[in-house]
Chain A
């Protein structure tokens, strides 16, 4: 197996506070990894550091993605290389129409990879098809990005972006939070359609329920900025029963 993502001893801080404390994680091609862990453990921080959000200082370790130094790339480069983060809290961008945003993003990535840019009608067709699969009203695509979208609509929109951009590694940060039961199924189906031999996923969640739909190959517990336990999908069930108390004390 070849590692798509290889994180070694990653340490990161924000505003002088260390959040990631020597984190190791290897994700092979085609694998689905779930990351669970208590609030404030550093799960979102990990996803932000991977996608290159400014404000974090990397104080140790390295990350290779597809054999390349991920931390040396700008966020847009990481995206073009195939990294996608579905945000825990997708942002609202007034004045930027959803469709314009999608087209700009898709073509920017294609351009950077040396591929032909797609025409507006082509993009529109792809987006419409995906929107239908994800039960997104076509009217929403004309609205400014995420503005006035409900929590669930925002998460669906993240899933739509992911499906359109066809990344190599999807990092889903609590994509299930804020979704009702039907929406959860729609989103999970959308994610499952993206499962492929050359596509990996990191699914961050608090709930075993999502993992019933998106069945992981590996489950990790992240606590106090490190992976403290790794197991199979049964680990998620175990955590549901026992909680994180033992790992928190262990990490402390």
Chain B
């Protein structure tokens, strides 16, 4: 083990240190990147896996939830590639550019790279790192230990750049899929650079086998140029035993329009952490997220929205449907920086508990350093309304179907926020599938 590291305590932390020591020389990137990785790992090691005493991780104690470190996934062989072919089926049949990331590695031959729009460039993260053309360190997410771990161990992913004023009609779909039975760890890093006035819909789906307790640490950095328009849709439907930690960092330019949509249905432990910075005048960001959880699933969405300068607007709506002994966590912090006057920010978190053992923890926070702003937040937690259910049943609708209608109604507001009808329909189908699973 590296002598500079502070002693780590848990088996997982020891395993991660061993892993980093073993693979650091083989990770993509030259000496400057290697220095960044070492620095990032030191920062991770100094903090260790976050436990519940770390404010941002209050409800998701990774020290307890992560038992061990897995070996890095091997680059996908022919069998893995075959297994991965059908992934991302939610959006099958739509005119979407699919890019496959199998077991953490971008696979160009499975990806749809033909007829790229002028001004659009797509390449593997390993390439960008080897040429030292990629910024690895995080900004807002820099202090987070698992983001640091991602920086230390980031292997592959996709780098997308869209030139100024290019309107990309065809959505790009990053299909992350884990194959194979041997549990492995994947550290992916992707990046989007959306030029001034450009426009794109970027979809991310994450899936994998139910029988493997694989670990995903996925990070995406987005640089949304001034006056650009971005729709980002992320569906987390990992396998039943998987650990999924995703860090999203977006810097959103002046006058840009950013719509974030998230849908979590799968994974044993899921953490989606989002760090958004709104540059100022005319920047509009919305975040709509829904988690549909059952069994003993644990899904945590932690969101930081930073209004950096005057005149920006943000809306956050988080909804959780929690069944069985599952737990949904929402932490949202809106920060209004000094001078960020006329900020208009509103955050709402609502949880629907379908069983007595289900738990929802919602903690919205405002941190306001300007005086002329409009900010608000609210949370509600409750069960399905028995009166409404009875009304539906009195019309002949069986209990489970009545519940499904009410759950759909609850989640519907979030899905309605997706601008494109074809994507909305696909998301509705995902929700229906989940509801079918309850019957």
Contacts and interface: CB of A to CB of B under 8 A. Distances in A.
Partners in one complex: yes
Interface of A: 51-55, 74-76, 78-80, 85, 87, 90-91, 93-96, 100-101, 104-106, 108-109, 112, 144, 161, 165
Nearest to A51: B394
Contacts of A80: 396
A75 B408 contact: no
In this complex, the member of A55, A94, A112 whose beta carbon has the largest number of chain B beta carbons within 10 angstroms is A94
The 9 A-B pairs of least Cβ separation, nearest first, read A95-B409, A79-B396, A109-B396, A105-B395, A75-B393, A76-B393, A91-B391, A95-B412, A108-B396
B405 interface: yes
A74 B399 contact: yes
Interface stretch (B146-154, B291-299, B362-370, B382-390): B382-390
Interface in B179-215: none
B405 A96 contact: yes
B386 A54 contact: yes
In this complex, the member of B394, B405, B406 whose beta carbon has the largest number of chain A beta carbons within 10 angstroms is B394
A112 B395 CA distance: 12
B386 A101 contact: no
A33 to B, nearest CB: 20
A104 B390 contact: no
Contacts of A75: 390, 393-394
A104 B395 CA distance: 9
Contacts of B406: 93, 95-96
Contacts of B399: 74, 76
B408 A95 contact: yes
Contacts of B387: 91
B413 interface: yes
Contacts of A109: 395-396
Nearest to B390: A53
Contacts of A104: 397, 401, 405
Interface in B390-432: 390-399, 401-402, 405-406, 408-410, 412-413
Nearest to A96: B409
Contacts of B393: 52, 74-76, 79
A105 B397 contact: yes
A85 B396 contact: no
Nearest to B416: A95
A75 B392 CA distance: 9
Majority SS at the chain B contact face: helix
Interface residues of B, number: 22
A111 B312 CA distance: 52
Contacts of B412: 95
B397 A108 contact: yes
Given A96-B405, A101-B405, A91 B396 contact: no
Contacts of B413: 95
Contact of B401 (A54, A91, A108): A108
Given A87-B394, A95-B409, 6 more contacts: A53-B394, A93-B391, A96-B406, A104-B401, A108-B396, A165-B396
A106 B395 CA distance: 8
A246 to B, nearest CB: 35
B396 A112 contact: yes
Contacts of A144: 409
A77 to B, nearest CB: 8
Contacts of A106: 396
B394 A93 contact: no
Contact of A76 (B388, B398, B405): B398
Nearest to B413: A95
A93 B388 CA distance: 7
A52 B391 contact: no
B395 A165 contact: yes
Contacts of A105: 392, 395-397
B394 A79 contact: yes
22 contacts: A53-B394, A74-B399, A75-B394, A76-B393, A76-B396, A76-B397, A76-B398, A76-B399, A78-B394, A79-B394, A79-B395, A93-B391, A93-B392, A93-B409, A94-B409, A95-B409, A96-B406, A96-B409, A101-B392, A104-B401, A106-B396, A108-B398
Interface in B19-65: none
A94 B391 CA distance: 13
Nearest to B411: A95
B396 A87 contact: no
Interface string B108-128: 000000000000000000000
Nearest to A104: B397
A100 B399 CA distance: 16
Contact of A95 (B394, B397, B410): B410
A55 B409 CA distance: 24
A54 B399 CA distance: 12
Nearest to B398: A76
Nearest to A53: B390
A101 B394 contact: no
B288 to A, nearest CB: 14
A54 B387 CA distance: 9
A75 B410 CA distance: 23
A95 B395 CA distance: 17
Contact of A161 (B386, B395, B401, B402): B395
Contacts of A78: 394
B69 to A, nearest CB: 44
B270 to A, nearest CB: 25
Interface string B87-100: 00000000000000
Contacts of B408: 95-96
A106 B396 CA distance: 7
Given A96-B406, A104-B405, A91 B388 contact: yes
A76 B413 CA distance: 27
Nearest to B410: A95
In this complex, the member of A52, A76, A165 whose beta carbon has the largest number of chain B beta carbons within 10 angstroms is A76
A227 to B, nearest CB: 23
Given A93-B406, A94-B409, A95-B410, A85 B394 contact: yes
A75 B401 CA distance: 13
B49 to A, nearest CB: 39
A169 B2 CA distance: 80
Contact of A52 (B394, B405, B410): B394
